[in-house]
Amino acid sequence: MNSVVCRFCSTKLEDTVVDLGMSPLCESYLAADQLDRMEPFYPLKVWVCRKCYLVQLSEYVKVEEIFNEYAYFSSFSSAWLKHAEEYVAKMTDQLELGPKSFVVELASNDGYLLQYFVQRNIPCLGIEPAANVAKAARERGVTTEVVYFHEQTAKEMRDAGKMADLVLGNNVLAQIPDVNSFVAGLPIILKPTGTVTFEFPHLMRMLDENQFDTIYHEHFSYFSLLSVEAIFAKHGLTVFDVEELWTHGGSLRIFARHASDQSRPVSQRVLELRKREDAAGYKKIETYTRFDERVKETKRKLLELLIDAKRAGKRIAGYGAPGKGNTLLNYCGIRTDFIEFTVDRNPYKHGRFLPGTHIPIFPPEKLDELKPDYILILPWNLKDEIMAQLAHTRSWGAKFIVPIPEATLL
């Protein structure tokens, strides 16, 4: 393989954070007639840059293969909708947005967030590359352009007079292979006193809590405050505030402005988080490279648990079919030899099979029919909610396996 370079600073990459082997695209659920066909697998190897400390995957898969038709509709999650509505109320208030303002969301999905600006009569525009979700946004009354955002698109928007008071992006920054061109576009469409906000999973939470299953091909970069500040600074933007959120296992919401806009000083919260990352060793390469051994040990522990269960003649099922489950199962080599089937509440997935492992997906009632002895919870971040929902399975003696942060039997 050719040598790989940092997508931000072009330094040659030499240090591995974790190598999860070969894995299929985690959202490519298979229909029954696809099971006998060849299935593409791509490397899932994460690097860290020695110079800027950006944690990243190479662009093993072209972004168009992943995002042109996207199965994820943000509006399916009521918790996420509430999060969006609260954000809109807060920003409208803080930035005093009104009928003369203009808001742009990058990767606006099905209009899950911008609909709340529409309700308040605040002009807005969604930028969304996946045509199928953009269509859902338009049906909801949210003006949406089907296009990839980068420096050139930004110039076209500016020339068309589409300058924004607020530019936002939720869970998109990680999914951009050419992060420089994307971030360079932001100041171009931002009014002189405008605000940029982005939400993304915080690398510190991933490393601290062993969330290696949040690594998949769709996520090209994994940001700390340290690395994101460096990228924004290079493109003339200053991160002036930050919030820590519960979403996606622990996220950051950063607030940025033009570096030349002196009206808002860098907040105490930014200074405090910078200090915390520094104290945790985020400017030392070993902080990143030691992750690999912890991930391997988690695999060994989980397999031990499953092997013991099978030797004792137990039946094991899964609960949930989230994208992250596919990273975990493929990395650990867990197929139908351990997990007979999994169940999920999303009807789109019923009758389909998990990519790579070919574990079948059924409606939740299948658990009551087959009464497995063990249930492996794949969306472990929701384990309390799921164990409460499945409390009745205790009646036949079922136990739960939670794989992360450490494989545990509950």
User: Could you say which residues in the range 11-30 bind Zn ion, by CB under 5 A?
Assistant: 11
Cross-strand partners of 401 = 376, 409
Q: Does 157 bind Zn ion (CB under 5 A)?
A: no
Q: Does 179 bind Zn ion (CB under 5 A)?
A: no
Residue 140's identity, in one-letter code, is: R
Question: How far is residue 268's CA from residue 183's CA, in Å, rounded to a whole number?
Answer: 24
Question: How far is residue 84's CA from residue 138's CA, in Å, rounded to a whole number?
Answer: 18
| Shortest Å distance, C-beta 224 to Zn ion | 12
- Contact between 24 and 356 under an 8 Å Cβ cutoff? The reply is yes
Q: Does 130 bind Zn ion (CB under 5 A)?
A: no
Under DSSP, the state recorded for 364 is: T
Residues 6+ apart with CB under 8 A from 332: 299, 302, 303
For residue 12, which of 60, 50, 54 has the smallest C-alpha distance? 50
Give me the phi and psi of 315, to 5 degrees please. Answer: -100, 135
By beta-carbon proximity to Zn ion, the closer residue of 142 and 179 is 179
By beta-carbon proximity to Zn ion, the closer residue of 136 and 184 is 184
Q: Does 49 bind Zn ion (CB under 5 A)?
A: yes
Residues 6+ apart with CB under 8 A from 5: 11, 12, 13
Q: Looking at 1-9, 98-106, 218-226, 396-404, which segment touches Zn ion (CB under 5 A)?
A: 1-9
Here's the x/- map for Zn ion, 289-328, by CB under 5 A: it reads as ----------------------------------------
By beta-carbon proximity to Zn ion, the closer residue of 9 and 163 is 9
| Candidate residues 26, 30, 52, 142; the one interacting with Zn ion per rule CB under 5 A | 52
| Shortest Å distance, C-beta 221 to Zn ion | 10
| Shortest Å distance, C-beta 244 to Zn ion | 24
Question: How far is residue 57's CA from residue 219's CA, in Å, rounded to a whole number?
Answer: 7
- Contact between 401 and 377 under an 8 Å Cβ cutoff? The reply is yes
By beta-carbon proximity to Zn ion, the closer residue of 74 and 221 is 221
Q: Does 6 bind Zn ion (CB under 5 A)?
A: yes
- Contact between 257 and 229 under an 8 Å Cβ cutoff? The reply is no
Q: Does 9 bind Zn ion (CB under 5 A)?
A: yes
By beta-carbon proximity to Zn ion, the closer residue of 51 and 276 is 51
| Shortest Å distance, C-beta 10 to Zn ion | 7
Residue 50's identity, in one-letter code, is: R
Count interface residues toward Zn ion (CB under 5 A). Answer: 8
What is the binding site for Zn ion (CB under 5 A)? 6, 8-9, 11, 49, 51-52, 54
